[in-house]
Structure 1
Amino acid sequence: MVKVYSKNNCMQCKMTKRYLSDNSIPFEEVNIDNEPAALDFLKDQGFQSVPVVFGGQSAIIGFRPDQLKALA
């Protein structure tokens, strides 16, 4: 299962989620505005921005359709 870490009012997050939906890639969203522990998790992993997508061999940071395509 693909996991997308996002936050409110994030255009790249919206574009990432739309891309996944449009390409029938199931995903679970974790909103760091609603779940502060998720923000701590991302910081602990060294990430400083969202979206962060886990599901492939490595995390995808930002809206990267070229990399998201590999999740299909």
Structure 2
Amino acid sequence: MDKEVIVYSKDNCVQCKMTKQELNRNGIEFKEVNLSHVDNADDIRAKLREQGFQATPVVETENETWTGFRPDKIKEIRG
């Protein structure tokens, strides 16, 4: 897959779990950054807040970034 997809998630996040399941169901590879388990979580949260994102999941693609469970956007990635 040429397009990198990053999912910023955290533990006990229902929409994060649903987003990852939908990406897997659509055969889309992604890198998960779980903010509950990374050393630089505060820096990442600050970066996401600067972009206007307050909640997880945040999904970052080559062309777009969004928050929440968005099966419509996931289908767009798949093409």
Q: Which of residues 21, 31, 51 in structure 2 aligns to 1:18?
A: 21
Cα distance in 1 for residues equivalent to 2:5 and 2:19: 12
**Normalization by structure 2: what TM-score?**
0.82
Give the counterpart letter for 1:31 in structure 2.
N
**Normalization by structure 1: what TM-score?**
0.89
Post-superposition offset of 1:23 = 0.8
Which ranges of structure 1 fall in alignment gaps of 5 or more residues?
none
Q: Does 1:39 align with 2:45?
A: yes
Q: Which of residues 57, 62, 71 in structure 1 aligns to 2:68?
A: 62
Query: Does the 8 A contact of 1:30 with 1:38 survive in 2?
Result: no
Deviations 1:4-62 (A, max 9, x none): 00000000000000000111100000111122132222122221011110115221210
Greater shift in the superposed pair: 26-35 or 12-21: 26-35
The structure 1 segments of at least 4 consecutive aligned residues displaced by more than 6 Å after TM superposition are: none
Q: Which has the larger radius of gyration?
A: 2
Cα distance in 1 for residues equivalent to 2:54 and 2:48: 7
Q: What percentage of aligned pairs have identical amino acids?
A: 47
Aligned length: 72
Which ranges of structure 2 fall in alignment gaps of 5 or more residues?
none
SS at match of 2:20: helix
Give the counterpart letter for 1:16 in structure 2.
T
